[in-house]
Structure 1
Amino acid sequence: MLVLHACWIPGAGAGIWAEDSTLAVTSPSQALRRARPHPFSAPAEALAFLVEGRSTRLDLLLPSGRRSPMDSPELVRITPRPAGTASLLPWSVPALILDPARLTETLGPAASASVVGDGDTDGDTDGDTQRETVDVRLAESARYLLELSRFCTGLVDRARTLPALQQSGDGFDARWRAVLTGPDATAAHALTTAMPPAFRAADASASPAALATEAMDALTDALTRTRLPASLLPRRRGRPPARRPAVESWLDALVGADARVDADAEELAQLADRLEPWLQATREERGPAQLVLRLNDPATRVDPATPIDPATDGGDDPTARWRLEFLLRSREDPSLLVDAEQVWADDGSLGRWLERPREVLLTQLARAQRVYPDLERGLRQARPTGIDLDVAAAHRFLSEGAAALAEAGLEVLLPNWWRRRRALGLRLSTTPSDQSAAGAGFGRDELSDFRWELVVGEHGLSGDEIAALVAAKAPLVRLRGEWIAVDPAQLERGVAFLERSGSGTMPAGEVLTLALSHPDDLDLPLELTEVTAHGWLGELLNGSLAATVADVRPPETFTATLRPYQERGLSWLDFLGRLGLGACLADDMGLGKTVQLLALEATRRSAAAAGESATVASGAQPAAAASRPTLLLCPMSLVGNWEAEAARFAPTLRIRAHHGPDRARGPDLAVALRDVDLVITTYATALNDMDELADHEWERIVLDEAQAIKNRLSRTARAVRRLRAAQRIALTGTPVENRLSELWSIMDFINPGMLGAHEAFRSRFATPIERGDDDGGAAAGLLRRVTRPYILRRVKTDPAVIDDLPEKIEIAQHYRLTVEQASLYQTVVDDMMERIEGSDGIERRGNVLAAMTKLKQVCNHPAQLLHDGSPVGRRSGKVIRLEEILDEILAEGDRVLCFTQYTEFAELLIPHIAARFDTDIAYLSGSTSRERRNDLVTRFQAGDGPPVFVLSLKAGGTGLNLTAANHVIHLDRWWNPAVENQATDRAFRIGQRRRVQVRKFVGVGTLEERIDELITEKKALADLVVGEGESWLTELSTQQLRELFTLSKGAVGE
């Protein structure tokens, strides 16, 4: 395992280094004041494979023991290191200095390096293959650097930057500076506060505020330069001046690689002085009160008989005017809001919280006027309280001024209807056309009758209303009692579009393009707000097609009996394939994604062999007979499962596994593919052989565990997009794990370009949805509409999907510690609490996690903590209770899975259990070979293998079908419900015929019991925070940790 760390080096930029869990821990000599080489830091070559940067060495202050640095909390070793007293000592590490303009695309993919490997080297000896299998994690400091980069990228994307001229030494530099006001200032402050101590390891004397400011300045400057042209100046005509003006040199330095400004120092100083007031206007003032601007709309009464309110400009009626009011709000007590009239009438009562309120009001109005010049009219008043606006000025304020003022840090209050305003748009309605050929059925070329109409929100406009809107010629109009924004020129183009193309017929493929494209990508005069389709097109667009599409029946040679929902899945995959569309089958784990895909392959291949199209119900177009092979990519651990399932359920399919050192390459590969239906390969092999695989045309490309490409910038994600096929299918139970960009990556693979470019997707969908912006709900609705036709997800808990899965009983299996365990437990608590109380930052987090590990080892068995090779005996209450449970299970002839996160506990336990019950014990860990793994699973499922199967949680928790077991025991807890549930699903899945009993060991009075209670009582919160493993526990207070760790009465058995 590699753990990537980041730090900021003042004056040099972002540095990356890594810990390597496979390297020796101790140093050859005692710690010195001078930095020594870090004993388990990754070499420069390993770093260079993962990220791009300039090689260097860094001296870092790191938490250390007496002879070596301490492990970071993210580093996982097979045998955890004993904790010791920590102090900060200097260590020298190989590092890379990263390009600040490419941090996100450079560092982001490194976190996904492990998805390709899964232990799969295929026998190759080239270095790339070996390194590709390394498990890589981002430490807290590296994730922090990514967040900084994303924050600065967002600033640059929104043009929240200004050019500056700053003195540096005896000269001047041209720099781009972030404009941090309003929400951006709050976010920047939060980032500064959240800075991990490790991020300052290169210069511990630098304050977080100073380091964050330097980092944000450097990132903003670098990112802005990448978006600018080669020159900001127009091409000069005529003879250049004898001496170039300082301002031109400054402008050139703003876009060049060298920020140094080559000009006269005195002129540059004068230019800097002239720029200062401009920059000052963007600096947020933090006084006791802030200016608030509130826009009130007219109070004109509306005649219900008149659809369009003609009094849009106010006329002479003061109640019909738009009024922009001035107010002051207390920063300390936001509920305290006073209008300008109160300020001018103040008799001194405001002095309790605001000194010189009139001066504050005028000063902040003057600042706001620099951003929104229309406010000058208010400043010309003797006692400004607000300004009246006509309808054009009101619209200009709503659409432009309010946003500019808010970004400058001023509060703006707008009418409620503006935030939920209903825009003018177009709606398309379609029905199957009578002109379609009889029996044409489903297909992209089938004709549909269409009709366009103008709408406001969900309501269509009548001819009279359209005519009234055209006649009003105003940007803001009250329609049916509600204000709407109307662009007269856009409205005119919309009316002309209806007159020209209001109805007719179009192919179904064109309807799909219109319905599933982002409005910005369509050449229409108004935004397309809705597509209402009837028939199969409507079912495709609303996501109900899988339940209603014509049945596709697999051939008789397919031996599995599909459940009804699996038949619908097969038909859905087949239907989209005939339309030339990709699909994401996202069924819950255990619902049979594998068998549905194999059924699709068997159906198509059977049709090809018979020389006819697949048998489908009437109305569907014939499916083209498949002649080319399908390429399936999956993790190495699942290759054997695919081969076995294909042999079992689709014996007529010709299968070829493409991996290992003897796999066909070059001309041999082309020959080997001639008589093959399904080629199974691993992600690592495909990455190595991509040039050859991309040269072939495939019937389908299938990605199993498609979350392997969730990082769009990873080598795997970029490579698989090169593969060519008639259809692309993604199989995954988790299309979105952390960020919406993961969904984009999968959807862009199955249907390239459907969600647009990633940058556009981020601004249209990801940013507003993930940040919870005002328009996030609308963006989420649009995203669901666009992706719904191509994603099919069913869950096991839905009775409509599966109603015969047997019962699952979860049991908290309580036990008590032995006297020896209790003594060791208390010793660990006393020792670790003393260390936790005397530490902070990353050192404290490391101590908390070390305490967690030690206490869990004690709960398992004293020998696991002591590492002394002592006998198991009756020294562990957990092992004693396990023996009692196994006695009952084996007496009934049942079979059981035992999961543990510690391989050393498994290796300690297995000989004892084998001797105690005089039986063999099956054991699977990360070091188990593929052949041995397959043999263990086959024998266990067949019933002729050992009845007890011990598995490491990480190696055996996914990708296995072990339904022969009807008991699952979690010996120690990962504290991540999702991980435990995945492991349980090895037995509780389709094919299970018996009731499954799931036991989770809980030590009475120990931290196991308290955390189990915490997860049970606060499930919603636990699902959110426990998803990252145990790191959330490090954020508890010392008192909370003491309560969590302390051994309670009743914990010790007799």
Structure 2
Amino acid sequence: MIVLHLAMYDGSWFLWGEILHNDESNSAKRGRPKTKITKPEILPGDIGPVPLKEALLSVGIETGSKKSRNLTAWLPSSASGPIGSRHINTGNFAIKEEPVLRPWRVTVLPLSPKEVIYFLSACIGKEFLDLGVMLGSDVIFWTKVIQFAAVLTVRERFLPGVREEKGIYYAHWEPFLADDELKSLKQLAQAMPAVCQALHEDSEAPPVAGSFALLSQATSLMVDAIVREGANQKYPEASKGGGKAPDFDSIHDQWLYALQSPTGEMKDSPEVLARFITTVAEWKKKAFFLATAPFRFCFRLEEPKEDKDEWVVSYLLQSVDDPSFLIPVKEAWQADKKMTKLFKGKKISLHEFILTALGQGAAICPRIEESLKTALPTGYTLDTAGAYEFLRERAPVLQQAGFTVILPAWWSRKGERSRLRAYARVETPKYPGGGHLSLDSIVSFSWEVALGEETLSHKELENLVKMKVPLVKMRGQWVEVNAQEIQTLLNQWHKKEGSVRTRDIVRMALGAGDTLGNIPFEGVRASGWIADLLEQLQGAAPWAELPAPQGLQGHLRPYQSKGYSWLGFMTRLGLGTCLADDMGLGKSIQTLALIQHVREQGEKRPVLIICPTSVLGNWQKEVQRFTPDLSFMVHHGNEREKEKSSFIQEVRERSIVISSYSLLHRDFELFREITWAGVVLDEAQNIKNSQTKQAQAVRSLQSDWKVALTGTPVENNVGDLWSLMEFINPGFLGNQAKFKRDFYIPIQVNRNEAVAEKLKRITGPFILRRLKSDKAIINDLPEKMEIKTYCTLTKEQASLYAAVVREVELALAESEGMERKGLILATLAKLKQVCNHPAQFLKDRSSIAGRSGKLARLTEMCEEILAVGDRALIFTQFAEMGEILRKYLTETFGPRVLFLHGGVPKKERDRMVDLFQREEGPPLFILSLKAGGTGLNLTKANHVIHFDRWWNPAVENQATDRAFRIGQTKNVQVYKFICAGTLEERIDEMIERKKEVAGQVVKTGEEWLTELSTAELKEIMALGREAIGE
């Protein structure tokens, strides 16, 4: 496992990491003591630049050719070496002497403030960034800081400023803290882990910067990056960076431009910039006085009365305690004693407050400065062009500077209905019952442009263009007019309307279709059968349930029938879907029912199923079980077809092709030759990182429809949603940069509920997620479900398995009686161990990761279990395998993993059970089958996983009943791991056949297997081709 760290040094951010060893010893107890330190050594366990870049890439941050560097990390150490992060956090280190700070050289990767925002946003609420990638206490601390910075931006507690560094001037945004916010910042500083300040260039003495100073600097950088990323784009080219900056009329305009540019750099003569920085500094100094006032200064834009071209910007005071209480400044100049009393004890008087606020505003808006020429300024007038400039350019900056700005309702978000909107009008007759709908059906449509609820004619739009003013009053409403946009709209109007496919109208209604120029597109106004269709798609009306396909061999539960019908409805429309049901609810049978249905409807082309290697065997079994009439092929292993023409020929003869993510990328030139009927991604969270080659390969596949299957809650992972949607419905959420700007930052950083709800509305029609706890689901489920999980062997496992079989075949020919029985039992144990993990069989304390098909599948399942907050019992009959699992799962998912075996004393055993049964107890509990089979009540678990088999149903059921017993309030899902193509699968089949015979009982233990003939044993132990998963 690696631990990621994030620290600030010299105003810059750096990411670094260490390898965390998962044994009870630690780095402080390894190695020989150092008697003298001459210069910093490389940190033992320093992970280097590649894992750092991979960690960033896992959350969508592309670092490209960014270069790493070395810095000194001052870390708690003993004479023998550094003390690892886990031991520092828990105090669990066994050293005699007191730890001291010692310098170590570490590899660091510099991050820009923008990259820090995206990285920390992906870390919020997590202990692990990815499997085997733990977040250090410093990273977790910084996630709290970025949330604090986000709150400041939402409250608009920031001001524009200018700073000078080494002769270069930069425009920036900086936080502007009230007393309560300053108190919160100080509390955060007190909680700052020391490792946040560990980095330094100096190896002679540790850093001495105070935590509050460092935190203040970090908060400023975060606020600047957040505001800059989401700033109102007066100059869109500024946010993109590069290119030549435009010519500016004033230093103020350059300032506004630089506040949105990536670097913020300003260029002018040193004299001009020096004067400007002094002006801004004075302006900001006054803002601190305003922060303590009982009022906020307010600017209100008022519309002209009657037909006059005279707008008014009025000055008002807004009560901090009651924002609805507004006092015109005209009255405030003549304030009575009651009002002036409110300023008693403040640093400025009421009149000083007004003049100071206007002085601040004057730095942003020249017209405010002009109003100060009057003795008692109360506002100023504008013509229509000036009003438009105020709305577009001045008002947003005034708001960002902390002023209240009240604008007409038709300009605000609530008044968006009063702006020009484009609609697509489609009228169709009522859909005849029993008829067949095709998305390729041709329908007629026309464009409509409306102002509010009023539709505008072509002539009225032409008149708007001729007026050449940005704001026009039409039918009693003011409307923003962009003459160029409207002219483009008029040019496209008749070119784009006419006859289109139903498919195009559907895409338009969901926001993914063509629109009319740059006028905001409101949607489709439809009547008749197409209106009914859109209502079904958007969830306003139910879709018709499909009858189960004739060729489906299996029963669909009611919720599965609904899911299969939804898949059928969506794929008929040519729309991609994500079936995100909880693990164990039967996503595979719903998907296979869909494939069987489309085949019975006449589809001749194959469907491609892409899944992790660990579940290839499961899909093969599921196809054989539920859709036995559909021909299929598994494209996997060294003997797979690699020649293009032969591959194409073989695929065209199949209904289903099953392959893995790794081979999709490796054999992409083969897969791209086929236009598939559909593509199904199982465990679709594998493409959450859109930058990986396998994600890019998946998006390049050609098919009529696409289905993503996942058991993880996709709605909780905003950053992963773009990659998922880009696969099932390409282009629907725009490009990734736009998605990050419009959704990721507002939701993940600013916690903007309105934006989150908007994203849910947009993506909701394509995602179906049901939970086991849903009332509509729980009644459909049995209290206990048993699911056989077929796993594959790695090449190493297959080689060891074959060697054991060869050895026993020779020995069986020469043994008999008790010797033969002992040989058989010993061989069965060896083969079980091989199927579990090579490290268990070899007993050599070798590495664990990447060597076992069962372990790979267990990891995937635990990831889903933990993602939804469930609990699991993991049974193994081998104590040594339990220890391997404990070590690996702890490294992968953290320290909250329990392990109970026969050697655990009763007192400790009772403590473990009590701990697991608590509401916040550990989510994973490993038990050896003998120790955990009796006398335990573990009803907090709703998943039971048998990692290996006892081959005695009674013993396995007794273990399962630790969770499924009195007190259990949830449905329990039982998973039995079986290595396909090995003795595990064949013995399981024998047990099932015996159970089917009335009155026949499977004998206790494995003794009954010793009674089989040599020929039967050889058949059972033979290694099948389907066993190997690599």
The yes-or-no answer on 1:638 pairing with 2:615 is yes
Q: Does 1:54 align with 2:30?
A: no
Aligned position for 1:443: 438
Partner of 1:475: 471
Question: Which structure 1 segments of 5+ residues have no match?
Answer: 119-131, 235-247, 262-266, 301-309, 316-320, 608-613, 615-622, 810-848, 886-898, 918-923, 927-931, 951-963, 972-979, 989-1054
Where in structure 2 are the equivalents of 1:172-187 lying within 5 Å? 172=167, 174=168, 176-180=170-174
- 1:5, 1:437 → 2: CA distance? 64
SS in 2 for 1:967: coil
2:927 paired with 1:906: yes
Aligned to 2:362, which of 369, 390, 393? 369
**Pair 1:206 & 2:184 matched:** no
8 Å Cα contact 1:874/1:880 also seen in 2: no
Q: Which amino acid aligns with 2:553?
A: T
CA apart distance, 1:517:
2.6
Q: 2:516 aligns with which of 502, 516, 523?
A: 523
How far does residue 97 in structure 1 lie from its aligned partner after superposition?
Answer: 2.4
Give the letter aligned to residue 793 of structure 1: R
Structure 2 contact 7–199 (Cα < 8 Å) conserved: yes
State the alpha-carbon separation in 2 of the partners of residues 260 and 314 from structure 1.
Answer: 37
1:750 maps to which of 721, 728, 733: 728
Q: What secondary structure does 1:286 align onto? A: helix
CA distance in 2, matches of 1:662, 1:426: 57
| Distance across 2 between alignment mates of 1:108 and 1:669 | 45
2:397 pairs with one of 399, 404, 422: 404
1:241-640 correspondence runs (5 A):
269-270=270-271, 272-277=273-278, 279-280=280-281, 283=284, 285-288=287-290, 289=292, 292-295=296-299, 311=306, 313=308, 322=312, 324-327=314-317, 340=329, 341-343=331-333, 345=335, 349=341, 350-388=343-381, 393-414=386-407, 418-421=412-415, 422-424=417-419, 425-432=421-428, 441-450=436-445, 452-457=447-452, 459-461=453-455, 475=471, 477=473, 485-487=479-481, 489=483, 505-517=499-511, 522-524=515-517, 526-534=519-527, 537-544=530-537, 549=543, 552-553=546-547, 555-605=549-599, 607=600, 614=601, 624-626=603-605, 628-634=606-612, 636-640=613-617
CA deviations on 1:768-826 (whole Å, 9 max, x unpaired) are 4556798x63x5565445334422334455555674435699xxxxxxxxxxxxxxxxx
Q: Secondary structure at the match of 2:363?
A: helix
Q: CA deviation at 1:202?
A: 1.0
C-alpha contact (below 8 Å) 2:609/2:682 kept by paired residues: no
Deviations 1:394-447 (A, max 9, x none): 55434432212112233334466745113332333423369x999983233323
* Rounded Cα–Cα distance in structure 1 between residues aligned with 2:906 and 2:423: 76
C-alpha distance in 2 between matches for 1:277 and 1:59: 37
- Say if 1:639 and 1:68 are closer, same or farther in 2 by CA, change over 3 A: farther
**Following TM superposition, by how much is the alpha carbon of 1:16 offset from its aligned partner in structure 2, in angstroms?**
1.6
Letter in 2 for 1:100: S
Verify the 8 A CA contact 1:57 1:92 in the aligned structure 2: no
**What is the letter of the counterpart of residue 752 of structure 1?**
P
CA distance in 2, matches of 1:233, 1:455: 35
Alignment of 1:589-988 (within 5 A): 589-605=583-599, 607=600, 614=601, 624-626=603-605, 628-634=606-612, 636-659=613-636, 665=642, 673=651, 675-687=653-665, 690=668, 693-694=671-672, 697-714=675-692, 716-734=694-712, 736-769=714-747, 777=754, 779=755, 783-796=759-772, 803-806=779-782, 872-873=905-906, 876-877=909-910, 906-907=927-928, 910-913=929-932, 933=947, 936=949, 943=953, 946-949=956-959, 967=964, 984-986=972-974
1:747 shift after superposition = 0.8
Indicate whether 1:5 and 2:5 are aligned: yes
Match of 1:89 in 2: 101
Amino acid at match of 2:579: L
Closer, same or farther in 2 for the Cα pair 1:257/1:430, shift >3 Å? closer
- In structure 2, the CA distance between the partners of 1:89 and 1:337, relative to structure 1 (3 Å rule), is farther
Letter in 1 for 2:26: V
Aligned-pair CA distance for 1:455: 4.0
> What secondary structure sits across from 1:60 in the alignment?
strand
One-letter code aligned to 2:719: S
User: Structure 1's 352 and 915: CA in aligned 2 closer, same or farther, altered over 3 A?
Assistant: closer
Seen in structure 2, the aligned counterparts of structure 1 residues 269 and 397 have a Cα distance that, compared at 3 Å, is closer
Deviation of 1:558 (Å): 1.9
**Separation in structure 2 between the aligned mates of residue 966 and residue 256 of structure 1, nearest angstrom:** 56
Q: CA deviation at 1:180?
A: 2.5
Please tell me the root mean square deviation across aligned C-alpha atoms, in Å. 6.0
Kept after mapping to 2: 8 A contact 1:181/1:408: no
Q: Distance in 2 between matches of 1:339 and 1:180?
A: 30
CA contact (8 A) 2:422 2:448 kept: yes
Q: Cα distance, 1:560 vs. partner?
A: 1.0
In 2, Cα distance between equivalents of 1:182 and 1:477:
39
8 Å Cα contact 2:604-2:655 kept in structure 1: no
Q: TM-score w.r.t. structure 1 length?
A: 0.61
Aligned partner of residue 324 in structure 1, secondary structure: strand
Paired residues of 2:681 and 2:708 also in contact (CA < 8 A): yes
Deviation at 1:201, TM superposition (A): 1.3
Alpha carbons of structure 1 residues 70 and 802: separation in structure 2 relative to 1, 3 Å: same
| Cα 1:495/1:877, change in 2 over 3 Å | closer
| Partner AA of 2:75 in structure 1 | L
Question: SS of 1:542's equivalent?
Answer: helix
- Say if 1:573 and 1:84 are closer, same or farther in 2 by CA, change over 3 A: farther
Q: How much does 1:467 deviate?
A: 10
Q: How far apart, CA to CA, are the structure 1 residues paired with 2:333 and 2:71?
A: 58
TM-score of the aligned structures, taking structure 2 as reference length: 0.63
Aligned-pair identity in percent equals 24
1:98 matched to 2:95? The reply is: no
Asked if the contact 2:445/2:498 (under 8 Å) is kept, the reply is: yes
Unaligned 5+ segments in structure 2 are: 57-62, 201-206, 230-236, 248-253, 786-889, 937-942, 977-1030
Shift of 1:373: 1.7
Query: What letter matches 1:707 in structure 2?
Result: Q
C-alpha change, 1:207 and 1:871, in structure 2 (3 Å) is closer
Kindly indicate whether the alpha-carbon contact (under 8 Å) linking 1:161 and 1:176 is maintained by their aligned counterparts in 2. no
Given the superposition, is the C-alpha separation of residues 595 and 541 from structure 1 closer, same or farther in structure 2, using an over 3 Å criterion? same
CA 1:299–1:398 in structure 2 vs 1: closer, same or farther (change >3 Å)?
closer
- What's the secondary structure of 2:714's corresponding residue? coil
**Partners of 2:2 and 2:954 in 1: CA distance:** 40
Instruction: Check conservation: 1:177, 1:217, Cα contact below 8 A.
Output: no
Counterpart AA for 1:441? H
CA distance in 2, matches of 1:802, 1:706: 25
1:598 and 1:149 mapped to 2: Cα distance?
45
The residue type equivalent to 2:2 in the other structure is L
Q: CA deviation at 1:575?
A: 4.0
Give the deviation of 1:529 after TM superposition.
1.9
Cα deviation code 1:951-996 (max 9, x no counterpart): xxxxxxxxxxxxx99806999xxxxxxxx97x945589xxxxxxxx
CA contact (8 A) 1:968 1:984 kept: no
Change (3 A) 1:732 1:806: same
The alpha-carbon distance between structure 1 residues 176 and 512, as it changes in their structure 2 partners (threshold 3 A), is farther
Tell me the residue number matched to 2:132.
Answer: 135
